[in-house]
Amino acid sequence: MNRRTYLTSVCAVGIAATAGCNTISGSKTLSEPTVNTESSGRKALIFTENDEEVGHLGVDGSVTSERIDLSTEIWHQGGTNVESIKLRVWMPETATESPAEIAIVSPVEGDSSPPPSVALYTPDQALGTSIEITDLDDLADETISTLNLIVIPGSETATRLNIHTTIELSDGGALSSDYTLDGELQLAYPQLTDK
């Protein structure tokens, strides 16, 4: 067999094998999470694939001075990186006439990198306030527990809080999948009406 024929055959097989690997990897949306409830104000969305946890969003809230203080935790399986986080937060009882005020409390940053890009805005076609975090740098491969929020209800009667999340995860391996974790938590803080 001459050298050119051999190289052509080997390259063709290599390209076919690589093309086959590309079809194995891809993007998957996990949009039917399990809700783990510890109390009405402390819950977690748990996203799984084939009975293995891919990631979760945990929220723990407490009422102080007629506001809700929220701490969050975003965990994802080893080998994946968080590309972006989007949270949409609203109180359904008063979302259209007097929406809640939402603020980010803590700096969302890692130990050695610049802070990520953070946007806080009112969406055009949806209720509530949206928070988008991108460019996570050294936070991307860690459990993220530095995102704390304050929610000030727009009404004295509002006690329910909804948080819709979309978290984009990437995995750089040849046989890997990227994930979109998409779900919604419904929390309640009846203490808001106690005076």
Whether residue 9 is contained in a domain is answered as: no
Whether residue 163 is contained in a domain is answered as: yes
pLDDT tens by residue, the chain, 195 residues: 555 555 455 444 444 444 433 335 588 999 999 999 999 999 999 999 999 999 999 999 999 988 999 999 999 999 999 999 999 999 999 888 889 999 998 666 666 678 888 999 999 889 999 999 999 888 888 999 888 999 999 998 899 999 999 999 998 665 568 999 999 999 999 999 885
Whether residue 13 is contained in a domain is answered as: no
Q: Is 51 left (phi over 0), alpha (psi -120 to 50) or beta?
A: left
pLDDT, tens digit, 9 for 90 and up, residues 125-176 = 899 999 999 998 888 889 998 889 999 999 988 999 999 999 999 986 655 6
Look up the domain containing 188 and give its range: 26-193
The residue count for the chain: 195
Q: Tell me if 46 sits within 8 A of 34, measured CB to CB.
A: yes
Whether residue 185 is contained in a domain is answered as: yes
Whether residue 115 is contained in a domain is answered as: yes
Whether residue 155 is contained in a domain is answered as: yes
Domains in the chain: how many in total?
1
Beta-sheet pairing, 81-90 with 129-134: antiparallel
**pTM recorded for the entire structure:** 0.83
Strand partners, 89: 129, 163
Q: Which helix (H) or strand (E) is 7 found in, with range? A: helix 3-24
Whether residue 3 is contained in a domain is answered as: no
CATH of the domain at 137: 2.60.40
Residue type, 149: L
